[in-house]
Amino acid sequence: MQGLEGVKILELGNMVSAAYATKLIADLGADVIKVEEPGGDLARQRGPFPKGVPDPEQSGLFLALNTNKRSCTIDPKQDPDALGRLVAWADVLVHNYSPASMAALGIDYEAFRAINPRLVMCSITPFGLSGPHKDYHAYELTYAHGGGWAWLSPGGSDRPDLPPLKAFGQQCGFQTGLIASTATMAAYFRTLETGIGEHIDLSAHASATSFVEMNVYFYSYLGKIASRLGRKILAPLGIYECQDGAILLLTAQPDQLQRLIEFMGNPAWAQEEYCKSPFTLARHLDVVDPHLRAWIKGWKVADLFHAAQAQRICVAPVCTMADLPTQEQLQARRFFIDVTHPRAGTLPHLGAPYHLHEPWWRMRRPAPLLGEHNEEVRTSLGQVSNKSQASSTPNSELRTPNLPLAGVRVLAFTWAWAGPYGAMQLAHLGAEVIHVESKTRPDGARLVPIHPTGVTPSLNTVGYFNQWNQGTKSIALDLSKPEALDIVKRLAATCDVVIQNFA
């Protein structure tokens, strides 16, 4: 067996969050049965469709979200026994029905736990299963605005007459699905050890709020309300036009800014004192920005990208959707793969954003036709009982308070954003995360000038760092010294996971 082969997943619901959560699991080998109501997942109606002709079997959104799954159609109101047999079969159930729909369809964890005490169930609802808003309806637009993300977009705007802007597509749904898959598989990991199931209550609204980056602690540390209007906290940070397209330029730390200035030939305007730090330069961007734009306009995108990267300056091309299929890095890593569907034909799909030593990720089947596997599922579940197994349900007194990843040790060579954010998720789920920091070069996140009012600023009082490194331990080492490397090697020998986000 490889990867998640043998893990049985039941998916219920519509659109993105539940479907994306189970797709991430299915791609690693799990057997996912997607239960659709007779009318089908609403994603089948969303498109885009080939030649613009609506067809529930050719929706681009549905095809992308549902590869490696089987489909069966059930009306839970009319056939609760069939749903019960699937619950008895499953190791994991993920759904995104609202609390009202859960009640109407008979989706109830306590009832399901009586059938299957080991069941891990993840309920993705708009606002969670408790609180004054739990029965409110919500959609992608609601999450984006209610979670604060849209209020911050587009960042650095000088147009107060324009409204907040939601990002294109179903981004909150995708982010919620990613969180759901992570929490669900962590809970299943614990179930394998304890035999005790779990019910995960996941709020899509809270999910959207959880990734508004520095803007929450901008208020809690400084008492300021972040806005999409006005200047950004550091500069340069933005999109600049070249001769043949656009690039994104970011200098987040003083040394990065100085490398940019040297790369530009140390122009006279860059000799001002405020050009020593991205945070002070931001207050004078109206003076500096015209010089930057004029200099960048003299380059072609590819030339500037490669030349700046060679100087360790953060420059990246701004790709259009038409650019992506031929983008050299994505092609080299075989990110796009062709999938042949019985109705939609052969179309390029998104592959895995990661590579594994073992080839667990595999495209095994295209997205299913509506009810394509009804007979197959019905036959395989013929002997599965949906009768209560209450006598074998673990006594509540035996329930362990341990978090799912308790006992897992992680060694984290991380800094800035992506690495610490990923390590923090593991820490929140109970893992012991040991963050290895440089004794001579502090994490750039510790240099962001967001300190609580009335507190003497230090590397330990920065809101940016403190937010995204919650629950972790820190050890500072100078890895240029042999004794520090020896410590790291001995630590690694005691760890289950190593995570890093350096280039």
* Residue 241 within any structural domain of the chain: no
* Residue 236 within any structural domain of the chain: no
In percent, how much of the chain has pLDDT > 70? 96
Tokens of 246: 């656009």
254-263 and 301-310 are packed helices; what angle lies between their axes, rounded to 10 degrees?
Answer: 120
What φ, ψ does residue 485 adopt, rounded to 5°?
A: -60, -35
In the predicted structure, residue 170 carries a pLDDT above the cut 50 = yes
- Across-strand partners of 199? 121
In the predicted structure, residue 395 carries a pLDDT above the cut 50 = no
Same domain, 488 and 437: yes
Tokens of 290: 């015209």
HEC assignment per residue over 266-323: CCHHHHCHHHHCHHHHHHHHHHHHHHHHHHHHCCCHHHHHHHHHHCCCEEEECCCCCC
Q: Are 458 and 447 in contact (CB under 8 A)?
A: no
Q: Are 305 and 316 in contact (CB under 8 A)?
A: yes
Condensed to tens digits (0 to 9), the pLDDT of residues 39-74 reads: 999 999 998 998 899 999 999 999 999 999 999 999
Identity of the amino acid at 266: N
- Band (214; pLDDT cuts 50, 70, 90): confident
- Band (381; pLDDT cuts 50, 70, 90): confident
The mean pLDDT of the chain is 94
The dihedral formed by the CA atoms of 122, 125, 130 and 131, expressed in degrees to the nearest 10: 150
* Residue 240 within any structural domain of the chain: no
Tokens of 48: 């885009």
Angle at 39 between CA 36 and CA 42, to 5 degrees: 75
Same domain, 54 and 195: yes
* Residue 495 within any structural domain of the chain: yes
Same domain, 439 and 384: no
pLDDT of residue 399: 55
Q: Are 251 and 314 in contact (CB under 8 A)?
A: yes
Left if phi > 0, otherwise alpha if psi is -120 to 50, otherwise beta: which for 473? beta
* Residue 219 within any structural domain of the chain: no
- Across-strand partners of 246? 241
Average pLDDT rounded to a whole number, residues 215-233: 89
Condensed to tens digits (0 to 9), the pLDDT of residues 237-257 reads: 999 999 999 999 999 989 999
- Band (402; pLDDT cuts 50, 70, 90): confident
Same domain, 190 and 265: no
pLDDT of residue 169: 95
Condensed to tens digits (0 to 9), the pLDDT of residues 344-364 reads: 999 999 999 999 998 899 999
pLDDT of residue 389: 59
Q: What is the DSSP letter of 444?
A: G
**pLDDT, greater one: 387 or 75:** 75
pLDDT of residue 387: 66
Same domain, 372 and 493: no
Reduced to 3 states (helix: H, G, I; strand: E, B; else coil), residue 229 is strand
Average pLDDT rounded to a whole number, residues 116-120: 98
Same domain, 50 and 96: yes
Report d(CA 176, CA 65) in Å as an integer.
Answer: 14
Same domain, 388 and 418: no
Number of structural domains, the chain?
Answer: 3
Same domain, 190 and 270: no
Average pLDDT rounded to a whole number, residues 123-144: 97
Report d(CA 501, CA 494) in Å as an integer.
Answer: 21
pLDDT of residue 215: 86
Report d(CA 159, CA 227) in Å as an integer.
Answer: 12
What CATH number does residue 72 fall under?
3.40.50.10540
Report d(CA 441, CA 481) in Å as an integer.
Answer: 14
- Across-strand partners of 473? 434
Same domain, 21 and 113: yes
Same domain, 12 and 74: yes
* Residue 322 within any structural domain of the chain: no
Q: Are 432 and 410 in contact (CB under 8 A)?
A: yes
Whether residue 48 has a cis bond before it, omega within 30° of 0: yes
Domain boundary residue, one of 375, 398, 421:
398
Q: HSE, CB side, 13 Å, CA atoms: give it for residue 159.
A: 8
pTM of the model: 0.94
Report d(CA 334, CA 339) in Å as an integer.
Answer: 13
Q: Are 69 and 368 in contact (CB under 8 A)?
A: yes
Question: What is the Cα 185 distance to its own chain's centre?
Answer: 14
Same domain, 423 and 372: no
What φ, ψ does residue 238 adopt, rounded to 5°?
A: 175, -175
Question: Domain range spanning residue 294?
Answer: 246-317
Q: Are 246 and 239 in contact (CB under 8 A)?
A: yes
Q: Sign of dihedral through CA atoms 277, 278, 284, 286?
A: positive
* Residue 326 within any structural domain of the chain: no
Condensed to tens digits (0 to 9), the pLDDT of residues 256-304 reads: 999 999 999 999 999 999 999 999 999 999 999 999 999 999 999 999 9
Tracing tokens 């590819």 back to the chain, one arrives at 302
Average pLDDT rounded to a whole number, residues 303-331: 95
Helices (H), 337-494: 374-380, 418-428, 463-468, 482-492
Q: Are 82 and 385 in contact (CB under 8 A)?
A: no
- Band (313; pLDDT cuts 50, 70, 90): very high
- Band (397; pLDDT cuts 50, 70, 90): very low
Domain boundary residue, one of 298, 317, 336:
317
* CB atoms closer than 10 angstroms to residue 115: 23
Measured in residues, the chain has a length of 503
- Across-strand partners of 238? 249
pLDDT of residue 413: 97
**pLDDT, greater one: 394 or 421:** 421
* Residue 403 within any structural domain of the chain: no
Same domain, 445 and 390: no
